[in-house]
Structure formats: structure tokens, C-alpha cells
Structure 1
Amino acid sequence: MKWTYVLASLQTHLRVQRAELLTTMESTVKKLDVTYNPINERNTFTNGDFITGQVTLEMGKDCQIDSLFIKFKAKADVMWSETYGKTTVVYHSKEKYFTMKQYFIQSKDSKDGEYVQLINQASEYPSVVAGVHVYPFTFQFPVQDFPSSFKGPHGKIVYSLEACLSRSMRPNKKESTTVNFVSKPDISNISALKMPQRMSMDKKMKVFTSGSLAMDVNLEKSCFLQGEEMKVVSFIKNNSSREIKPKYCIYRKQSFFAKGKRRVHTKDLIKEEGSPIPEKATETVTQVIAIPHDAEPSILNCNIIKAEYRLRVYLDIKYASDPEVKFDVVILPAAQMLPDGSSSSYAWFDTEPFGTPAASVWSFGPSAPTQPSAPPSYDFNGMYPSLNDFS
């Protein structure tokens, strides 16, 4: 009994000592922080942009550092679960787009050939650190056709900066921050998206309503900027026995793909209605709909996540099913103002070209990636995705 008590006391003492040791080790690092410098008013970046920032490290006392680096990475991740009787199946899929590293302090024994070391500053920074130190970094966003940042109910596309501090006999300490990336559309296909669209329908009424209806709807184009006005012109022939009312709805469709399954979420963004059209009347109706400034850009270049928009034009008829037509709509990012007062190059497709796009955003087939003309160079380890059309 006495030995049992002694053993229990010894175990308790060791646990307390271990906790105190871990607390002391952890308190040595007072601060590890990652910040970056915005380049426009919305704090967004696009293909080919440089991102600069700093890692701030504050140590409470002298400490030997094995390694300190900043990692820049991008990936898409999808996950949801479904229950079949007593069985729950988890559907998960992910895509990695790129990973880059920049070392500030690097161990001589490090074998980190998987990543690109942008700027080797190991010789400039001492491995014994005390007090506050600021380590600047610079990365360039790839020019390849990667999707915009996204967050949905079952998936996300994340661009992030992560600092990692490694010390002997201690757990690594990490801090990260996310970056908002807006993919640059390829103007080679903008001309096709700016072509007018037209859809027609005819319906013969039954039961409570007699006669027929005809609707011819014209849309000036299929791509629109955030905040832009959409003009919808409809020729409506109401040859029925009831008054009808034209209605309009822009809705968002998000699709998530994993293990051959798809999960879809739809949400109505805008609902508007026009003036009533009396029975036995024919009218040309024009409706102007403003695209929300904060509408997320379309995502059509990701294998496991899609964000699409559609315009639904329908005729509201009492005691009858509503005849309708649907248009696919692409929403593009609006122009951004840079700190020098100029407009960013990725958003306004009626002005200057967007530089040298690497692949078509709106066509569903891969193009050969181009390399950025300015240093640093990148090695994406074959992670450039193929683009498949999920219908």
C-alpha cells in the first residue's frame, strides 16, 4: 500500500514537472505573427500579383532556432456525410494547387527538396534569437488558371500564408492567415460570353385558364460584372383568359463533387417582378436588374467545386404552372482601384487586355501553363489541375 502511494506521488510530480517545462518552453515564444500588405481597396490579389509581408517573432529569452520559414499554399477541399440506414458515409475530396516556401533560418541537415526556396536568407539571420525580429517575405501568385477563393456549405478554396517555427525537443509552433484571391478571366473567350442570348417558349393553357401564352426573352450578353445592370427584354403575348405577371429571379447554384457523388445548393439572390399584362394583350417588357456588388464571382475552373448563376424568367399565372425560360449567367469581378489610383488589370473586360493568361477560365480544357517573366521561379510538382465539365 505504501509503495502504491509513493508511485502515485511520483507520477503526479512528474506530470507537474512536465507541465511546468512545457509552459516554460512555450513562454519562450511570446509572439509569432504573419501579416501581408494589401494592394487594393478590397484586399484582393489576382494571377501574377506579388504579395509582400512580414513574419514577426518575439522571444522571451535567447533561444536556438532549428528553422523558421513561411509557406504560401493553395488548395480546394470538399467534405460532407450521408446516412444510409445505420451507415454513415463521408464524402471527401481535395485538390492542391501549389506550395512554396521561403526560409529565414534553415537547418544544415534539412532535406526540403519538395519546395522552392524563393530567397535563401539563412546566412543573413542568426539561428540564436532573442527579442523582437521581423522577417520580410515576397511571393508571386502563379499565372496558371487557379480558381478564386471560396467558402461554401460543403467546401472551400483557400489561399494561405503559414509561418512555422521549429526548435529542438519542442513542438513546432505555427501561425497562418488567409489571402483573398480572385481569378483573372481570360479575355479570349469574353467575346463569346458577350454575344446576345435568346430563348422562347409557348404554352397552351388548360383547366382553369384557357387560351395560350408565348414569350420571347432576349438577354444582351451572358457575362456581367459585379454591380453591373442586366437588361432583360421580353416580348410577351398573353392570349389567355387571365392576367399574367412577368417575374425574374437570379439564383446561385453551388456544386460539390467527391467520390463520384455531387451535392448541390441553390439560393435565390434577386427576385423582381414586372407590371401585369392583361388578358388578350401583347407587350414588350424591359426589366433592368442590378447585379449585387458583393456577388461572388463564378467559379468554373475547379474540379471539385463549381459556383454558377442562372437567370430565370417566368410568367406568374393563378391556378396554373408558370411557364419559364432560364439563362446561364457568368459573374466577373469588378474593377479595383490600386494604391496609385489606377485600375487593377483583371476586372474590366472592355478595356486593356489582362496581360498573358495561361489558360482559359471559361472553357473546360487545360492549356499549357506559362511561366512568370519576373523572378522568383516556381515548381508546382505536377499539381496543375485538369478542368473537367461537371454537368
Structure 2
Amino acid sequence: MTVKYLWVEYNKVNERGTFSPGDTLSGRVTVVTSKETKVQCFLVKAKGKAKVTWCDQEGEATVVRSDKKKYFYFEHIFLQDKNSGKGSEIIRRGRHVYPFTFVIPNTDMPSSYRGKWGNITYSLRAKLTQSLWLVHKTKTEFPFLTKSEFPFASKSETIIIGLKERQCATRISFYGTGKVTMNVTSEKMGVKQGEAIGVSVEVLNNSAGTATPEFYLCEKETFVAKSKRTVHRNDILFATGDSVPAETSQTITKVLSVPLQLPPTFFNCCMMKVEYRLKVILNVNLARDLEIKLPLVVLLGSPKPQQQKPRRSIWFRNLPA
């Protein structure tokens, strides 16, 4: 095997290390050979796509739901056999660098994302074909950031109003001759990655038992494939407040810090979306719990320098005789 090393890398265009619609994606493919190598085809591809896959149980049968969408596909050929696949192109012994340049389409596309049953990925792939049975491949993904001004707005909304406004909700439950009232307030509906948000719960406990609030940051992923859909829910953060004794009232506040790497809310992909909720559950002794959910929009945080993901390159070793 004369191809000893093959890898692909790209040039950053900003301090965040991300690419967006309209950007120029340039880089290089490097190949190291131990001796003169005949090549049928040598190329690099740039691809953006979304793909979802999950399984449903219908009776005793398992049905696979799957769909995909291609946002763009470009191909640059460095070497192409002109002699009916006989390997007429030659790569000399040593290290060789092949530059490439692509321009990403200036259209609305979602940001990179990896979810429970679906991914949105943008990648570079290099492929060197020596023969039908001897093909070398390498791949690296590059982070992509949408240019959509409101990726967190659904199709029925042009903009979400009130991201900085306080939110409030109330629940009342009766327990025999007493009742419990829970008022939940959050500082705002929109919060950036890495920021903290305060959530307050006012408990008026006129029942005979204690009441304990629990605070959650909940994530909801929705995946769609050919008119079928599935949902995955996940609790990102959890905190417990002080218990409120019987026949008393108290206001409890918790500060929840949104993880810096938590994906932002988005709706601008036809096959998947991600949304969040603030959930407060009031556990009442010997009674039914009260629950309140408030919408939360996670916005893109401040730019942070990113390193290229470790490239998946391949070392080739000679097989023993």
C-alpha cells in the first residue's frame, strides 16, 4: 500500500471558527506516498445535510423511520483517470498538498447540530481511488452557524416579542378544606448560552402538608420523517427549593445557569427542531403535585474561539508478506 497518510483540513474565517452562508471555505488535502502511485480518481467534497433516523414499534414489527435533506454538495477533482479506469494519473513519492476553495451558498440553512435521532452536519471528505478494491478516505466536519435572524421562531411567527420581558403563571389546587397556590415568575424568556436566569416561586400553602418546589430546565427535540414524528425530552438542570410548612407562605428563588455548550433554540430545519422550557413542580405531601411550564428561548452566546475537530485521518501500514 503506497498511500501512507491522507488528511483534509480547512482555514478558519473568524475567531469563532464557524462558517455561515456566503463564506468561502478553503483548505487543503495532504497525501503522503511511499513511492510512485497510480491513481484512478482523487477528489475532495464539501457537503451540508440533515438526517433523521429512529425506530417505531408497530405490533410485533419494528419500522425504521428515516429521511434526509441535502443543503449543498460540491466536488473538486484533483486527478481524474483519462484512460478508462486503468490508473493513468501518477502521484510521485513524498508529501503532496492539494488546495481547494468552495463558496457556501448564501441561503437559509440551520446551524450544525447533533441530537438524539438526528444530525445537521457540514463536512469535507477527501477520497483517493487507486482501484475498485483500494480506496482511501478521510473526513473532517466544520462548524456551521445559521444567518437566520430568528432561527428560534416558528413558521407562523416572524419574530418572538418579549424575549426580555418577565413571565408569570399561576396554579391553584384544593385539598379538602385547604388549598395551595403557586405563582412562578422568570426574569425573561430569552437567555444566552452561558448566562444565568432567576426563577421565583411564591407558595401560599393553606393545606395540612408541606410543599417543596423543584426547578427544571427541560429540553425537547422533535424529529420528522415523511410526515411521521417523534419527540425526545431531557432534563438539563435540576434544583430543589426549601420546603414550605403547612399554613404558611414563602417565596423561593433559584438561579439556573444555562450551559455554555447547550444548543440554541431553532425551528429553521424542516426535519428537526429544539426548544426549551422552565418547569417548576410543587410536591405537596399526600396530594397531587402542581406543575407549571414557562417557555425559554436559548440564544447564541458570545463568540468563543474553537479548535478544529480532530480530523479523522488514516495511516496505512504494509501488510505482512
Calculate the TM-score normalised by the size of structure 1.
0.67
1:252 correspondence with 2:180: no
Whichever residue aligns with residue 78 of structure 1, its letter is V
Question: Any stretches of 5+ residues in structure 1 without a counterpart?
Answer: 1-26, 111-125, 340-391
Query: Which residue does the alignment assign to 2:299?
Result: 332
1:54 is the counterpart of 2:49 = no
Whether 1:32 and 2:6 are equivalent positions in the alignment is yes
Match of 2:172 among 175, 187, 202: 202
Match of 2:143? Answer: 180
- Residues 200 and 33 from structure 1, CA distance in 2 versus in 1: closer, same or farther, beyond 3 angstroms? same
The answer on whether the counterparts of 2:49 and 2:122 sit within 8 Å (CA) in structure 1 is yes
Structure holding more helix per residue: 1
Per-residue CA distance 1:320-368 (angstroms, 9 max, x = gap): 12111101222223212459xxxxxxxxxxxxxxxxxxxxxxxxxxxxx
CA RMSD of aligned residues (A): 2.9
Q: Which has the higher strand share?
A: 2
Tell me, in whole angstroms, the C-alpha distance in 1 between the residues paired with 2:145 and 2:181.
Answer: 41
Query: Match of 2:91?
Result: 129
Could you give the per-residue CA deviations for residues 9-53 of structure 1, whole angstroms, max 9, x where no partner exists?
Answer: xxxxxxxxxxxxxxxxxx132222112245667754444444432
Q: How big is each residue's C-alpha offset from its partner over 1:132-151, in whole Å with a ceiling of 9 and x where there is no partner?
A: 21112233444433222222
**Farther-moved stretch of structure 1 (131-140 vs 33-42):** 33-42
- Is 1:280 aligned with 2:247? yes
C-alpha contact (below 8 Å) 2:49/2:68 kept by paired residues: yes
Going from structure 1 to structure 2, the CA distance change for 1:169 and 1:95 (only over 3 Å counts) comes to closer
- Which among 211, 219, 238 is matched to residue 178 of structure 2? 211
TM-score by length of structure 2 reads 0.80
Q: 1:240 to 1:311 in 2, by over 3 A?
A: same
**Letter aligned with residue 158 of structure 1:** T
Aligned to 1:165: 128
**3-state SS of the aligned residue for 1:180?**
coil
Percent identity over the alignment?
37
C-alpha distance in 2, partners of 1:46/1:335? 16
Q: Is the 8 A contact 1:231 1:287 kept in 2?
A: yes
Match of 1:81?
55
Q: 1:248, 1:313 within 8 Å by CA — same for their partners in 2?
A: yes
Query: 2:193 matched to 1:193?
Result: no
Q: How many pairs were matched up?
A: 295
What is aligned with 1:297?
Answer: 264
CA, structure 1 residues 109+236, in 2 after alignment: closer, same or farther (shift >3 Å)? farther
C-alpha distance in structure 1 between counterparts of 2:162 and 2:44, whole Å: 41
Cα deviation for residue 250 of structure 1 reads 0.8
Contact 1:237–1:282 (8 Å) recurs in 2: yes
Q: Contact 2:16–2:305 at 8 Å: present in 1 too?
A: no
Q: How far apart, in 2, do the equivalents of 1:140 and 1:318 lie? A: 62
Is the CA contact (8 Å cut-off) linking 1:155 and 1:305 kept in structure 2?
yes
Distance across 1 between alignment mates of 2:103 and 2:46 = 9
Contact 1:40/1:336 (8 A) holds in 2: no
Task: Return the offset for 1:200.
Answer: 1.8
Q: Name the aligned partner's letter for residue 57 of structure 1.
A: V
* Cα distance in 1, alignment partners of residues 60 and 214 from structure 2: 44
2:237 matches 1:264: no
Alpha-carbon shift at residue 316 of structure 1 (Å): 1.5
- Residue 310 of structure 2 corresponds to none
SS at match of 2:142: strand
Residue 184 to residue 218, structure 1, CA distance change in 2 (3 Å) = farther
**Is 1:153 matched with 2:116?**
yes
Paired position in structure 2 for 1:229: 196
Counterparts of 1:71 and 1:289, CA distance in 2: 42
Cα distance in structure 2, aligned partners of 1:86 and 1:242: 46
